[in-house]
Structure 1
Amino acid sequence: MDVSLAAGGTWTDPACPVARTVDLIGDRWSLLIIRDAMDGATSFTEFRQRLGIARNILTDRLRRLVEHGILDKGADTDGRRHTYRLTPAGKDLFAAVVALRQWGERHAFAPDEPHSVLVDDHGRELPELRPLGQGGAPLSVEASHVRKTA
């Protein structure tokens, strides 16, 4: 995976994993492309139709996601079009996407406002993601801190 930034860019905060992640995939379109890839989109046309994104922006974001090892680019069965599939690193973003979704369900909608729901293979809603400490107890902002590197 190429984790360098394109065109001589610099990391927002080189020692912070959150900042690096946001630098790599944190813009609106990249996250929505990743979301749609998790929902089965594989072609330029599918992403464009689902997102209503401008062609040049989609081209740029797909290129960047491939460069950074989030998506793999391959050839369609007829060899004329490209397909995009999540890499293991891209699939590893599933928990982050679920966390963003669940935050949105709690804070971005009115109580009775309809919205899509993520369900498992049996049609059941996913339980709320909660970070756990080493002992298995729920962890909170107040009960954790960042240990800075030297």
Structure 2
Amino acid sequence: MSMSFDPFTQLDRLAQSLFDTSRQPRIMPVDLFREGEQYVLSADLPGIDPGSVDVDVDGHVLTIRAERTAATREGARWLTQERPFGSYMRQFTIGDDVDVEGISASYDNGVLSVVIPIAERARPRKITVESASKSNKAVTA
């Protein structure tokens, strides 16, 4: 097996070992969109144990946490180990227009999906316009 030399990868590894960046929470890439009467958040978390994923809401902050453990092999001599491990965290500010009690989450094939429903009170609604002459007749009759 041949390995090519990449100076940037080597520099990144050196910086990680010097500054121990493995202890800092890593950023997870997400997509967030509105679909009908809900927001949908999809977060990439490949290789994460679903039991380590934690989604919580505290006030107006939605927090997603996950942990990827380092690969260990008894007696193995690593040639390269580039897959990151450690803590992952993302926080999102949510407004008053969401139904906090209705938030749900699922994890499938390395993607965490969080569905955030829009509260009934924040949904657009049609207001019926009554004729002024009809309401005057009802009052005077």
- How would you bin the TM-score normalised by the shorter chain? under 0.3
TM-score (structure 1 length as normaliser) = 0.22
Query: Higher relative CO (CA 8 A, sep ≥ 6), structure 1 or 2?
Result: 2
Greater Rg over alpha carbons, structure: 2
TM-score (structure 2 length as normaliser) = 0.22
